[in-house]
Each structure stands twice: as structure tokens, then as C-alpha cells.
Amino acid sequence: MEDSRSPSGQDMTREPNSALRAVDVLFEASTAVWRRPVRTLLTALGTIVGVAAFVMTTGLAATASAQVSSSFDALEATEVRVQDVQPDGSHLFPADVDVRLSALNGVVAAGVIYELRHDEDLAARGSPSLNGGVAAQIPILAASPGALDASRVTVGSGVLYGSFHADRAELVAVLGRVAADDLGIHDVSAQPAVFIGSRAFTVVGIIDNAVRNPGLLLSVVIPSSTERKYFGSGGIEAEVVIDTEPGAASLIGRQAALALRPDDPERLRVLVPPDPASLRNAVESEVTALYYALAGLSLAIGTIAIANSTLLNTIERRSEIGLRRALGAKRSHIVRQVVVEASITGAFAGVVGAALAVTGIGIISSLREWTATIEPLLVAAAPILGLATGALAGVVPAARASRTPPAVTLRS
């Protein structure tokens, strides 16, 4: 102070500067925002709606497409079956179906399954000690170990036979739950036997459930290699069952016939599920394109809204801005303050908008009995989105405000 009042001349070579500290910009801007909550809310309203609509539409898009994909049966989507086009009783499939198909990328389990031809001699009978040797009308199935796995079999008691048994064509069998009841067998620990023809098969396990082949529950099931060795019937309705990785079904469907019968792939009919990926994508891209267009639109409207009200705001505060200029604010100081105010307002709108959107998605999802799928990143990004919107929207009003002539303070 002593300096600036001292007689003219010497100390005036020091160029005075107009300076505004960053912390002061922040404080001035945030005070302008929070001291007038009603005005801020009105300024933010358009952006609140915009961000809410943005988060809500993208959130709903995610929720809706999650519904679409879950409506595709996962079981069905990973199942491939190969059947005979012209059954003639001969052995259609090679003995090593399991091995050939397992070599394909995307196969979880695969195997052949068929029913033995009905024949009085081959009726299955229980052990005389268990059920008086009464013959029952029980179907007999031959299945390679891979076919049991691919049928998604669950074991109630004992174990399934595996390749160890199958490779040796051993005389083993597993019983379906219903067949086991008919035969009076409930426990395999005593190694009960069933008779097919004159041969005794050791029962190693009882199947509790077989989601892909419920027929297994009614049957006596023996390894296909054992069937070939002792009966060689060729079987009827032979079918290869393949369990694939999710999304691999159509690929496997294209490769299976050639892998099984390189000599005559035409003879085989391959059944693949509708490709869930392409179906979902079709639905999704339509739905999400619409949603994202709406979201973008609402954000654009939000930007325009905040720009508009910030502009009105600065016009209304013309005398305050003129005062700041009269007190020594440079144009850039005014620009900074208005942009920061708009950014703070935008960030606030982002928080409120995201909160509204999450609530909205929750309500809609519960009405539709959907599972709400909200990307947490999107919700976290909402305030930043709002801030960017505000900053962008603040530029034009800020530039205008900064051109306020300081002389307005003397004319109002």
C-alpha cells in the first residue's frame, strides 16, 4: 500500500496484474451454485432429465437384453444330436464316437445311444434272489460313456460306467431310477446283477435324473461296446448326443457329420438349436440402437437445456459480472467462473439424474419381473458425464458473459 501511494514515477514500472486464484474460482463458482438452490435446480433440471434418461435407457437396454439371453434355454443351446436319415439296421456310427467327437474344439461330451431290438431272449430280468426272476418290460439301451455325460445324467447311487469299463466291453450296467424300482434294486453296494438273455450284468449305479434323455430313467443301460461284443444288434433309433460349450453348437453341428462318417456324411442328419447368439444379437441390436439413440438425444437435450439456462442466468447476472469486471476481473476470469459454475451444476445434475434413473430401472424391472442389470460404471460415470455436459454447455454463455462491458455498473 505504501508503494502504490508513493509519488509517481519509479515504482510504476512494476506492472500490476489482475490475478484470480484457482481456489477462489472454485469457491466463487460453488457459492454461486449452492447459495441459490432453487435456481440451480431449475438450471440443472434439463440435465437431470437428460442424464436420467441416458442412464435409464442404457440401463434398460442392458436389462432387456439380459432378459432376452436368459430366455434362451441354456440346455437347449448347447445340445447337438446326430441321427440317421435312412435307418437300415446296420451299425451307423463308428465304435469310437466318443473319441472322434471329443477331438473337436467346443465339445464337452459326446457319445452314441440306441435301443436294443426287442427280443424275447433279451428281456431284462432281475436277479432271482431279488425279484423272483420275473421278466419285466424294461427297455434296454446301449450308450457309450460319453453319451451318458452328454445326457447330463446325475447318479443317485453308485457310479456310472466309464471308458475303463467300455474299452474292455465289461458286463456292467446302470439302471434308470424307474427301472431300478421295477427290478427291486435300491442299493448297488451289494453289487446286484440284472440278466439280459443269459448274461448277468453287474449294476454299478442308479441314474437319478437325465435332463436330456429322460428315457434313460426307464431303462437298463449298458456300454455300447459291450452290446457290440455280445449282441451286435446294431440297435434302433441310434443317435449321437453332443454336449457343447455355450455358443459352440452351430460350429459343432457343421463338423459332426464329417467327423463321424467321413465316407458318407450325407447319411446323417444333424440337429442344432437355433443360434442363440445371432438371435440375441438381432434382438439386441434393434433394441439397443433405439435405446442409445434415445439416450444420446436426451443427453443432447440436457446439454442444450443447461446451456440455455446458463445463458439466461448470466444475462440476469449482468450487473454482478460487470461489477467483477470493474473490480479488476479479466475476461478470462469471467469465463473460468461461468464454466466452473456450469460444470458444478452439471455434475450435480449427473448425481441426481443417476439416482433417479436407478430408482426408475428398479421400479420398471420389478413391475416386469425382470432382473435389473445396471452397469455400475455407468452410474459412476454419470456425474462425470454431467460435469462434461455442463462444461461444454458453459462455454458459449461464458464467452458472452465475458464480453459484458464493465461500464454497465454505472448505467444501472
Partner 1 sequence: MNPPHAVVEVEGLRKDYTGEPPIRALREVSFTIVSNDFVAVTGPSGSGKTTLLALLGLLDEPTAGEYRLDGQDVSGLNDRRRAAIRAHKVGFVFQAFHLIDYRTVLENVQLGLMYQGVRRPQRISRSLEVIDHVGLRHRAQAPCSTLSGGERQRVAIARVLVREPSLILCDEPTGNLDSSNTDQVLMLLDQLHSDGMTIVLITHDPAVAHRANRRFEMTDGRLSEPVRAGHD
Give the interface with partner 1 as residue ranges (CB under 8 A): 1, 4-9, 12, 15-21, 23-24, 27-28, 31-32, 35-36, 319-320, 322-331, 333, 405-407, 409-412
Strands 236-244 and 79-84: antiparallel
**Kind and range of the H or E element at 58?**
helix 37-71
Question: Nearer Cβ to partner 1, position 246 or 328?
Answer: 328
Q: How far is the CB of 7 from partner 1 (least distance, A)?
A: 4
Residues 6+ apart with CB under 8 A from 300: 50
Question: Nearer Cβ to partner 1, position 81 or 333?
Answer: 333
Q: How far is the CB of 25 from partner 1 (least distance, A)?
A: 10
Give Cα 330 distance to the centre of its chain.
Answer: 54
Question: Nearer Cβ to partner 1, position 35 or 263?
Answer: 35
The torsion angles phi and psi of 179, rounded to 5 degrees, stand at -60, -40
Q: Encode 87-115: b = buried (16+ Cβ within 10 Å), e = exposed.
A: eeeeebbeeebbebbeebebbbbbbbbbb
Separation between Cα atoms, residue 337 and residue 302, nearest integer Å: 21
How would DSSP label each residue in 61-128? HHHHHHHHHHHS-HHHHTEEEEEESS--SS--S-TTHHHHHHTSTTEEEEEEEEEPPP-GGG-EEE-H
Question: Nearer Cβ to partner 1, position 9 or 232?
Answer: 9
Question: Nearer Cβ to partner 1, position 252 or 339?
Answer: 339
Question: Nearer Cβ to partner 1, position 150 or 329?
Answer: 329
Cβ neighbour number for residue 22 with a 10 Å cutoff = 9
Q: How far is the CB of 15 from partner 1 (least distance, A)?
A: 7
CB-CB contact of 250 with 275 (8 Å):
yes
Separation between Cα atoms, residue 235 and residue 15, nearest integer Å: 104
Q: How far is the CB of 31 from partner 1 (least distance, A)?
A: 7
Question: Nearer Cβ to partner 1, position 264 or 316?
Answer: 316
Q: How far is the CB of 44 from partner 1 (least distance, A)?
A: 17
Question: Nearer Cβ to partner 1, position 2 or 121?
Answer: 2
Beta strands in 186-298 (DSSP E): 193-196, 199-210, 220-222, 236-244, 268-271
CB-CB contact of 113 with 213 (8 Å):
yes
Q: Which residues make beta-bridge pairs with 207? A: 155, 176
Residue 297's Cβ-side half-sphere holds a number of Cα atoms within 13 Å equal to 7
The three cell numbers of residue 408 are 454497465
Question: Nearer Cβ to partner 1, position 27 or 164?
Answer: 27
